[in-house]
């Protein structure tokens, strides 16, 4: 009685077809990642060494290391995070926990979506106009990081807001019923349970900030700077701009050098991401409902 009819068989074949098809498409997605990594390792892997990572560029950036750029990128990303995470989380908490659905929040939401769609070169010009010139910060780490922060703010806001809204409403009501204020509820129950989602936003932000070139090239990143920045008001070199410069602006650069820089850049992003992912997994293991 369980013998397959012709119709059953056809359904089964269709099912197999779709499953294989989707699997193939998914597998194809890994291909570019693997190809990029393989090319970088193949062409630039040989140049990676302690001197490369911790040395200064010499001979007009045609030789030597990349330490000032590496150091500068860490600075830029760190300062951008320091600005955008608190701002973004605060805005998301307001939008998700306090504000109702009214014209004001709708305008804000529209602004966030539009901010996310602005090309990075436009952010760069805004950064020059606002931070470098209007606020008189000058081309510096601070100005560049602020520009990066503004650019990545929508990512942080959207990720945070979504993770806040994933915390069931019953938890909030249970707290309110005990006489907790909105803020007490947010601090004790909502935020601790949204941390892993917020971290997802931060991961995305770190990746994007590390690789961006346009927003920093007019606002704080230098073409070549033979010394390290001492404060956020100094200019700095940055990996992404350095890669752009040695690839397009400096003649006679050995082939391995740009590939090596790109490998370090990607390695840095992967390293920071793995750290965040590990942290997120640890948090998720602790908090469950």
Contacts with another protein, residue ranges (CB under 8 A): 100, 170-171, 173-181, 184, 188-189, 192-193, 287-289
- Cα Rg of the chain (Å, integer): 24
Please spell the DSSP secondary structure of 12-27, one letter per residue: HHHHHHHHHHHHHHHH
Nearer to another protein, 185 or 213 (CB): 185
Nearer to another protein, 98 or 176 (CB): 176
b/e 39-77 (16+ beta carbons within 10 angstroms → b): ebbebbeebbeeebeeebbeeebeeebbbbbbbbbbbbb
Q: CB of 93: closest distance to another protein in angstroms?
A: 18
Beta-strand ranges (E) seen in 219-272 are none
Compute the CA torsion angle 107, 113, 119, 122 (nearest 10 deg): 20
Nearer to another protein, 69 or 191 (CB): 191
Nearer to another protein, 166 or 271 (CB): 166
Nearer to another protein, 124 or 186 (CB): 186
Cβ–Cβ < 8 Å for 70, 264: yes
Q: CB of 178: closest distance to another protein in angstroms?
A: 5
Q: CB of 167: closest distance to another protein in angstroms?
A: 8
Nearer to another protein, 170 or 230 (CB): 170
- Cα separation values, 154 from 92, 114, 201, 245, Å: 10, 9, 9, 29
Q: CB of 101: closest distance to another protein in angstroms?
A: 9
Q: CB of 202: closest distance to another protein in angstroms?
A: 21
Compute the distance between CA of residue 166 and CA of residue 76 in angstroms, rounded to an integer.
31
Nearer to another protein, 30 or 178 (CB): 178
Q: CB of 171: closest distance to another protein in angstroms?
A: 6
Compute the distance between CA of residue 151 and CA of residue 120 in angstroms, rounded to an integer.
7
SS3 106: helix
Q: CB of 194: closest distance to another protein in angstroms?
A: 11
């Amino acid at each position: 009685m369980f013998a397959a009819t012709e119709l059953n068989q056809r359904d089964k074949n269709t099912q197999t077809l779709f499953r294989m098809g989707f699997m193939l498409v998914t597998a194809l997605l890994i291909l570019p990642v693997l190809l990029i990594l393989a090319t970088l390792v193949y062409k630039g892997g040989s140049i990676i060494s302690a001197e490369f990572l911790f040395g200064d560029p010499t001979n007009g950036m045609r030789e030597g290391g990349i330490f000032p750029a590496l150091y500068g990128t860490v600075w830029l990303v760190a300062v951008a995070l320091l600005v955008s995470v608190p701002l973004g989380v605060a805005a998301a908490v307001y939008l998700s926990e306090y504000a109702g659905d009214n014209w004001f929040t709708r305008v804000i939401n529209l602004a966030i979506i539009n901010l996310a769609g602005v090309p990075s070169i436009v952010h760069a010009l805004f950064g020059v106009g606002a931070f470098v010139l209007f606020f008189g910060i000058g081309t510096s780490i601070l100005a560049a990081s602020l520009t990066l922060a503004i650019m990545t703010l929508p990512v942080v806001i959207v990720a945070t807001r979504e993770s806040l809204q994933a915390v069931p409403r019953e938890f909030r009501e249970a707290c309110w019923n005990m006489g907790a204020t909105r803020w007490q509820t947010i601090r004790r129950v909502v935020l601790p349970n949204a941390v892993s989602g917020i971290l997802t936003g931060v991961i995305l932000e770190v990746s994007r900030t590390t690789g961006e070139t346009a927003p920093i090239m007019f606002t704080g990143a230098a073409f070549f700077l033979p010394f390290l920045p001492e404060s956020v008001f100094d200019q700095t070199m940055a990996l992404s701009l350095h890669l752009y410069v040695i690839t397009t602006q400096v003649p006679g650069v050995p082939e391995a050098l740009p590939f090596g820089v790109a490998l370090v850049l990607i390695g840095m992003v992967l390293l920071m991401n793995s750290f965040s992912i590990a942290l997120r997994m640890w948090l998720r293991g602790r908090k469950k409902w």
